[in-house]
Structure 1
Amino acid sequence: MEKKLLFNNRTGLILLLLLLGNCLTTAAQVRLEDAAFLNKLNGTWRMSTRRSVIIETWQQKDDSTWLGQTWRVVKEKDSTLQQSIILARRGNAIYFMPTYEGRVGNPIQLTLRVLKPVGFVAEDLNNDFPKKVIYRFKDARHLDARVEGAQQGTIQEYIFNFEKQ
């Protein structure tokens, strides 16, 4: 009794190419004309913790660059800059580039993979930390930010629930 193949080699190859093409389209969800969605970041965002307040400020420098800073304020007296961030359109991509205070080494450059009205995802899977950064607008006054990666062999995730000031 001869077995009938559901797909022959040619059909299987065509299906594989269609599937790969669809995956590439899905991965490239950032359109440069959607960069205006980043304007929602502009302003001061605040999150209170038990010991301190985290403040993130954003301003649009020009039509292709946004500048951010993250501060940690302890007892409303002592403030420490945690990181500076540049979000910039360069060529055919948009990059999220954080600079952490006290960190030496190569600059970090994560590529925005998704940019929608509700937020964005930036990642560089070859980088240890951060590997992925997700910003999501819950509404006009609430922003969730998540930073994922590994430091010294330990997987870490930081979640920030900001409220606009």
Structure 2
Amino acid sequence: MKKLFIIAIILLSAINCFSQENIKTHLFLGKWLMAEVKDAEIFEEWNTNSAGDIAGTSYYVKNGKESVNEILSLESEEGNLNYCAIVFSQNDGNKICYRLKEYDDKENIFVFENLNHDFPKRIIYKFQDFDNLSVRTEDDNKGNDFKFTRVEGLINFYYLKGKILKKPFVNKIGKEVPGIYDYFFEVQGEKYFIRNFKNNESLQIEDYLEKELIFQVSFHEGLWDSDDNNHQSRVGKYVKIYLH
């Protein structure tokens, strides 16, 4: 019985333990507009500092005036990822943190929980795709649902830790083309095509292959292989990347 109890503890610990290196927190980055709001615009905006830490604000714009509601952050503590918020009108302005209890890397769902807080006890972020987000705040009896759309795109630069990968170019029929390669930026288990690579030291992209570094990254969507819409090109999400 004692052995079974120990095994159960180990299993429960494994369930609630996430490798933060593979948690796709970079999906939070950008400016998000809440849908179906009358008489005002409500935004949530996330950014990084030069160390790669992620923080944000929740604010609304009404009659041309901007007012901040919350200061947000994603923080690491003793190997755990916490979602923290300072709501100026609540809790005497003290920071309240929610621990990441569930994470689905396929569906991009983050469930943060703090059972000691009155409401909400859980905050759930679900990224339906790169540009659409749903957020739910709830306790065991009720909940509120919000939908957000990314606005202005990820036109800013963000400091992200990742590595550059080199992959053989594969044509439309699935055949590798000798001597031609694509480069991808891998961050938190997600790979993005690299549209360009620039640095201040006249070094080549090959010098940075497979090295875990902090890069300055901007996210885009469009043609991969050409700037001309009249030319055939792959299309999708891509990054421009600079050495930090």
TM range (shorter): 0.7 to 0.9
CA RMSD of aligned residues (A): 2.4
Retained in 1: the 8 A contact 2:109–2:125? yes
What is the match of residue 39 of structure 2?
Answer: 51
Q: Which residue in 1 is equivalent to 2:14?
A: 25
8 Å contact 1:65–1:89 — kept in the other structure? no
- Does residue 164 in structure 1 map to residue 164 in structure 2? no
Query: 1:21 Cα deviation (Å)?
Result: 3.8
Alignment of 1:1-165 (within 5 A): 10=1, 17-28=6-17, 30-35=18-23, 37-48=24-35, 49-63=37-51, 65-75=53-63, 77-103=64-90, 104=92, 106-117=94-105, 118-149=108-139, 156-165=142-151
How many residues align structurally?
147
Query: TM-score, normalised on structure 2?
Result: 0.53
Gaps of 5+ in 2: 152-244
Question: Structure 1: 5+ residue runs without aligned partners?
Answer: 1-9
**What TM-score, normalized by structure 1, do the two folds share?**
0.75
Is the Cα–Cα contact under 8 Å of residues 34 and 116 in structure 1 kept in the other structure? no
Q: Equivalent pairs: percent with the same residue?
A: 22
Secondary structure (helix, strand or coil) at the match of 1:23 reads helix
The separation in 2 between residues aligned to 1:136 and 1:15, in whole angstroms, is 35
Aligned equivalents of 2:49 and 2:25: distance in 1? Answer: 12
- SS of the residue corresponding to residue 94 of structure 1 reads strand
Structure showing the higher helix proportion among its residues: 1
User: 1:131 deviation in Å?
Assistant: 1.3
What is the DSSP-based 3-state SS (H/G/I as helix, E as strand, rest coil) of the residue aligned with 2:146?
strand
- Pair 1:116–1:64, CA change in 2 (3 A): farther
